[in-house]
Amino acid sequence: MSDDALSGLDEQQRAAASLLRGPVCVLAGAGTGKTRVITHRIAHGVDTGAYSPGRVMAVTFTAKAAGEMRGRLRALGVEGVAARTFHATALAQLNFFWPQLAGDTAPSIVDKKVRVLGQAADGLGLHLDAATLRDVASRIEWRKVAMRTIDQDAVAHPQGLGTLDAGKVADLMRAYEKIKDERRQLDFEDVLLACAGMLESEPRVAAAVHEQYRHLTVDEFQDVSPVQHRLLELWLGERRDICVVGDASQTIYSFAGADPRYLLEFGQRYEDAQIVRLERNYRSDPAILGVANALMRGRPGALALSSPRLSGPAPTVTSYDDDAAEAGGVAAAIAAQIEAGISPHAIAVLYRANAQSAPLLAALAARGIPSSVLGGRRFFDLPEVRQAVMALRAATVAPIETSFLATVRDILRGLGLSDDPPPAGGALRDAWEARAAVLRLAEEAPAGTTLRAFTDELMARGRAQHEPALRTVTLATLHAAKGLEWDHVHLIGMSEGLLPISYATGFDAIDEERRLAYVGVTRAARSLSLSWARSGGTAGRPRPRERSRFLQEIGPGARDTDTARAAGARATSAGRPRS
């Protein structure tokens, strides 16, 4: 074995990284180091001569995750591995083989599905609002990832969609496809379907892909959809050298076609599969893992997470009179954490639906606490950041009379970076935080970095979506928080109708909501607070709420607290909970 690639791994991680041949399944719980295992396994295969880097395909679901994988492989001295998303891999193969097969360039990609759908609706004489068009776009996406025809979709959804009956929905889908065909365009889901069709119908293309890629690794395997699973089968062919990594307890994208059965039944599909369980969590305190384990106890594929840490404070459960009191109480708790020396960027507030962010933003701004909502524009797409990168890039053509860091600071000050930040809660503060993050990247650059090298690094980070952490409290939905972590997490809205959400009916839908709660809990490293409001709705028409069934399942794993009544909470304490 290569000690370089396997050093620093624990016993379970080392066992997984040492399995280089045959079907391998790594069941990796939250915070157990799955990306570390994937990259060290590949590096170990390269070090021992079992793999050639150019013959390895590693696929995942986001460009950010793929970029992180490539960065870790580079740090281990491995270059040339094809670490990409499913769509990027499929698109690269289409662009390479299409000219050989058709004698023409591959079709272009639809920029905005809703716009094309609107044109299709106009052609049919249908006058549809934007919300209906978005719903039809979502139905199209689901149909394609499930590998269903338009007729099969109509049978599966006889009730239609909104004001459209099933026949009209089918007509609109056909008109949409006709426009795309006339324009020689593919949408995002077509890329996977077209690549699969090419591999199925062209044996020489399949043979070339099988010759190029001998070893296949799949990250986040619990999120694989039917069309992605079919593509994996075609990439693999008759061979069996595949390693899948995933956690059934983190399946939260069923609405996008994710099917955890592919992970759960891997050992049945490959009877000789080698299965390794990673259950040693290096992120969270034992008390937090106790809550996570209680939520998933008895569920298919659930792992029993443990931690080498000493147990920290017990998670708390707090009830408030209403949403405003809950937002004020959480803001007060965060203010106390910051006053105790905790950096804002180490704190997150997580919730089920985007609409829950509004009172939180107001409550935090009222206390002068900077915050940012995850899932908005990407950092390197922000106008302030683009302006800063362009200005820094332009400065590289002129002789620099001061130090690199002083030059960066002067340029950013000229763009509006003041010594003192503007008040929290507005666009000016958001712009200031973005420019301050660029300055911190410069301050953290290695000694001897030139301005040109720094701007090259900024541009590379932008392409890889390797974004810096803003010095703000993060607000995020549970879906957006997956794959991230914070020292201190406040999980709000733990009431029936919010988590689980009101439209989740049936066992499978409720189980998905439970997995969302599990994802939220396992984002926390040091402290976790859970809260809910006893009433919702408007001030004139309050609606009573009930405590979430998930809080009942946690049992004694979290400590209940009480709060002052709403009037007192909105006064001096702003809802600060008291034991």
Q: Count CB neighbours of 191 within 10 A.
A: 22
pLDDT for 173 equals 95
The CATH number given to whatever domain includes residue 554 is 3.40.50.300
* Cα–Cα–Cα angle for 380, 385, 388, rounded to 5 degrees: 135
Any known ligand binding at 292?
no
Kindly report, residue by residue over 219-234, the tens digit of the pLDDT: 999 999 999 999 999 9
Whether residue 460 is found in the same domain as residue 475? no
Burial tier of 284 (Cβ tally within 10 Å: 0-12, 13-18, 19+): buried
- Of 464, 491, 515, at which residue does a domain stop? 464
- Of 357-361, 457-461, 474-478, 491-495, the range with the lowest mean pLDDT is 457-461
Any known ligand binding at 33?
yes
Cα 392 to Cα 387, 404, 463, 547: the distances in Å are 9, 11, 17, 52
Reported as half-sphere exposure (CB side, CA atoms, 13 A), residue 264 has a value of 14
Beta bridge partners of 274: 24
pTM of structure = 0.83
Interatomic CA distance for residues 94 and 104, integer angstroms: 11
Q: For residue 3, what pLDDT band results from cuts at 50, 70 and 90?
A: low
Any known ligand binding at 197?
no
Beta strands in 269-388 (DSSP E): 274-278, 316-320, 347-351, 371-373
Cα 430 to Cα 123, 363, 376, 482, 561: the distances in Å are 43, 16, 12, 23, 34
578 in any annotated domain: no
Q: For residue 2, what pLDDT band results from cuts at 50, 70 and 90?
A: very low
pLDDT for 264 equals 94
Q: Average pLDDT for residues 24-30, to the nearest whole number? A: 95
Closest by CA position to 116, among listed 129, 133, 128 = 133
Whether residue 200 is found in the same domain as residue 173? no
Query: With contact defined as beta carbons under 8 Å apart, do 190 and 106 qualify?
Result: no
Q: Count CB neighbours of 372 within 10 A.
A: 21
> Encoding tokens for residue 62?
């986001």
Query: With contact defined as beta carbons under 8 Å apart, do 371 and 473 qualify?
Result: yes
414-421, long-range: CB < 8 A, 24+ apart: 415/384, 415/387, 415/388, 415/391, 416/384, 421/370
Any known ligand binding at 472?
no
Whether residue 409 is found in the same domain as residue 534? no
Quote the number of domains for the chain: 4
pLDDT for 261 equals 93
Whether residue 394 is found in the same domain as residue 455? yes
Whether residue 340 is found in the same domain as residue 476? yes
Any known ligand binding at 358?
no
* CA dihedral of 490, 352, 114, 62, whole degrees rounded to 10: 60
pLDDT at 565 over 50: no
Whether residue 86 is found in the same domain as residue 7? yes
100 in any annotated domain: no
Beta bridge partners of 541: none
Whether residue 21 is found in the same domain as residue 144? no
Measured in whole angstroms, how far is the alpha carbon of residue 113 from the centre of its chain? 22
The letter for the amino acid at 431 is A
Any known ligand binding at 557?
no
**49 — alpha (psi -120 to 50), left (phi > 0) or beta?**
left
Whether residue 394 is found in the same domain as residue 445? yes
Whether residue 237 is found in the same domain as residue 311? no
Query: With contact defined as beta carbons under 8 Å apart, do 576 and 339 qualify?
Result: no
446-455, long-range: CB < 8 A, 24+ apart: 449/404, 450/404, 451/392, 451/395, 451/396, 451/400, 451/404, 451/407, 451/408, 452/396, 454/392, 454/404, 454/408, 455/389, 455/392, 455/393, 455/396
Range of the domain at 311: 287-376+471-570
Q: Average pLDDT for residues 403-415, to the nearest whole number? A: 87
Any known ligand binding at 32?
yes
- Of 280, 315, 343, at which residue does a domain stop? 280
- Of 464, 481, 516, at which residue does a domain stop? 464
How high is the mean pLDDT of the chain?
Answer: 88
- Of 37-51, 83-97, 355-369, the range with the lowest mean pLDDT is 355-369
pLDDT for 579 equals 29
Closest by CA position to 52, among listed 60, 42, 41 = 42
Measured in whole angstroms, how far is the alpha carbon of residue 522 from the centre of its chain? 14
Whether residue 220 is found in the same domain as residue 251? yes
514 in any annotated domain: yes
Interatomic CA distance for residues 129 and 472, integer angstroms: 36
Q: For residue 513, what pLDDT band results from cuts at 50, 70 and 90?
A: very high
- Please say whether the dihedral angle defined by the alpha carbons of residues 514, 515, 516 and 522, taken in this order, is positive or negative: positive
Closest by CA position to 534, among listed 338, 317, 381, 337 = 317
Q: Count CB neighbours of 401 within 10 A.
A: 7
Closest by CA position to 10, among listed 49, 30, 40 = 40
Any known ligand binding at 64?
no
97 in any annotated domain: no
Kindly report, residue by residue over 253-266, the tens digit of the pLDDT: 988 889 999 999 99
Higher pLDDT, residue 307 or 542: 307
101 in any annotated domain: no
- Length of the chain equals 579
575 in any annotated domain: no
Whether residue 112 is found in the same domain as residue 178? yes
Interatomic CA distance for residues 6 and 14, integer angstroms: 6
Kindly report, residue by residue over 126-170, the tens digit of the pLDDT: 988 888 899 999 999 999 999 999 999 888 888 888 788 889 999
Whether residue 41 is found in the same domain as residue 160? no
pLDDT above 90: percentage of residues in the chain: 59
pLDDT for 496 equals 93
Query: With contact defined as beta carbons under 8 Å apart, do 250 and 222 qualify?
Result: yes
